[in-house]
């Protein structure tokens, strides 16, 4: 198995796989073809059964740029059809160029886009494979419009994607903070025994991570709402936050700042009556 990199949310994303009598279901494909190959080798150390499905929790590059490797190994892709993210706004060539700068050209060898779903899921879908039940559901667009969560009901194991990350500061720049709060209610109602977050270590107590994420989001909403109500411009509302780390777009400070910008706009829209709370 690939272990936690110990680098929290800035470390390698998480991926997982479920071995059933009828084949393997993989959840997420990591950030490059090279990482996809590492994942496939990790699977092969455990089982030689065919890889039948790859479920993508969302369409951020660090979770699906290794998908081509699993596809070549025979997997068909289950994903939400909505692939819109801020990262792809500059077009696919710009997205790949940016990503090559992050992981290096070598790690991207053999890359091609492979995140288009063979089996699209927009509400919920259930796989029954070799006696194992795997539920795949769109909980809402909290982290991104194409979010999916993967739930093993019998084992009470939840693959949360980036809805949850190790330190509780889930990104909402491609999603919506109120929507993410509703997703957290859904997830908490499932009472998972084990939660695999999108990045970082598996929490000892899932409810605690869900609670911490909720507290962070409601706190940020309250802070930004107060600023909007007092007519404080965004720039000044942001002044209380530590500066973003220039070269580390997903460091804690960078995430908190990027989320604050997004939530300020959300609160402004709610204040003007353009968005429902």
The residues that touch Zn ion, with contacts defined as CB under 5 A, are 60, 162
Query: Is the Cα torsion angle 182, 184, 188, 192 positive or negative in sign?
Result: positive
In whole angstroms, the minimum distance from the beta carbon of 143 to Zn ion comes to 6
In whole angstroms, the minimum distance from the beta carbon of 101 to Zn ion comes to 18
Nearest to 54 by CA among 123, 4, 127: 127
Please say whether the beta carbons of 9 and 200 come within 8 A: yes
Cα separation, 177 vs 28, in Å, equals 23
In whole angstroms, the minimum distance from the beta carbon of 58 to Zn ion comes to 5
Cα separation, 163 vs 239, in Å, equals 27
**Nearest to Zn ion of 20, 144 (CB atom):** 144
Nearest to 183 by CA among 225, 220, 149: 149
Task: Note the Cα 77 to chain centre separation in Å.
Answer: 16
**Nearest to Zn ion of 225, 255 (CB atom):** 255
In whole angstroms, the minimum distance from the beta carbon of 111 to Zn ion comes to 18
Q: How far is CA 256 from CA 49, 51, 171, 246, in A?
A: 42, 37, 8, 13
Q: Please, which residues have CB within 8 angstroms of residue 243's CB and are 6 or more apart in sequence?
A: 253, 257
Please say whether the beta carbons of 275 and 269 come within 8 A: yes
**Nearest to Zn ion of 52, 183 (CB atom):** 183
In whole angstroms, the minimum distance from the beta carbon of 145 to Zn ion comes to 12
In whole angstroms, the minimum distance from the beta carbon of 164 to Zn ion comes to 11
**Three-state SS sequence of 139-194:** CCCCCCCCCCEEEECCCCEEEEECCCCCCCCCCCCCCCHHHHHHHHHHHHHCCCCE
**Nearest to Zn ion of 163, 220 (CB atom):** 163
**Nearest to Zn ion of 232, 261 (CB atom):** 261
Sheet-wide strand order for 76-79: 16-20, 23-27, 51-55, 76-79, 119-120
In whole angstroms, the minimum distance from the beta carbon of 59 to Zn ion comes to 8
């Amino acid at each position: 198995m690939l272990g936690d990199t110990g680098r929290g949310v800035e470390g390698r994303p998480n991926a997982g796989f479920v071995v059933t009598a009828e084949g393997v279901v993989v959840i997420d494909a990591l950030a490059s073809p090279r990482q996809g190959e590492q994942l496939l080798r990790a699977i092969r150390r455990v089982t030689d059964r065919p890889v039948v499905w790859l479920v993508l929790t969302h369409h951020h590059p660090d979770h699906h740029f290794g998908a081509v490797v699993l596809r070549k190994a025979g997997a068909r892709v289950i994903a939400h059809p909505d692939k819109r993210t801020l990262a792809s706004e500059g077009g696919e060539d710009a997205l790949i160029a940016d990503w090559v700068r992050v992981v290096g050209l070598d790690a991207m060898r053999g890359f091609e886009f492979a995140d288009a779903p063979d089996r699209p899921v927009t509400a919920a879908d259930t796989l029954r494979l070799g006696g194992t039940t795997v539920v795949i559901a769109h909980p809402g667009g909290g982290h991104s419009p194409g979010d999916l969560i993967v739930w093993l009901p019998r084992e009470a194991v939840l693959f949360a994607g980036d809805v949850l990350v190790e330190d509780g500061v889930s990104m909402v720049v491609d999603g919506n903070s109120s929507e993410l709060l509703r997703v957290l209610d859904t997830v908490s109602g499932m009472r998972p025994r084990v939660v695999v977050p999108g990045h970082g270590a598996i929490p000892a107590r899932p409810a605690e991570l869900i609670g911490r994420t909720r507290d962070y989001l409601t706190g940020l909403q309250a802070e930004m709402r107060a600023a909007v109500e007092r007519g404080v411009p965004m720039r000044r509302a942001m002044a209380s936050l530590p500066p973003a780390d220039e070269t580390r777009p997903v460091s804690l400070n960078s995430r908190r700042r990027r989320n604050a910008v997004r939530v300020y706009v959300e609160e402004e829209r709610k204040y003007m009556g353009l968005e429902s709370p």
